[in-house]
Amino acid sequence: MAEFGLTDAKGQESSWWISEDGTATGGAQGIGWALRSTQPRWTQLAGRFITLPPVRPISKLAYKVIVRYRHKLPGSTDACRMNYD
């Protein structure tokens, strides 16, 4: 992760998208860019929506809520549980 300017702590606090040019984008925007690069087409559209400037504050808030409660989502494991004290 160091080659992308990320510390281990920073890498663990958020999801990250590393672009082809080596730019690291984290959090909701990183998820948006990851979705933009996948198939099917609807995930690309979702990624574009998430990264729109007017939607960014909402997607950032949604990302924080999902991260906080991801251990309660279907398919979660103990690895999803984090300490927020």
Residues 49-66 pLDDT 10s: 999 999 999 999 999 999
Q: Angle at Cα 65 formed by Cα 60 and Cα 70, nearest 5°?
A: 125
Domain ranges of the chain: 2-80
pTM: 0.81
pLDDT for 78 beyond 60: yes
Say what the pLDDT of residue 73 is: 86
**Amino acid identity for residue 30 in this structure:** G
User: Would the CA dihedral through 49, 38, 19, 16 be positive or negative?
Assistant: positive
pLDDT for 85 beyond 50: no
Say what the pLDDT of residue 34 is: 96
pLDDT for 84 beyond 80: no
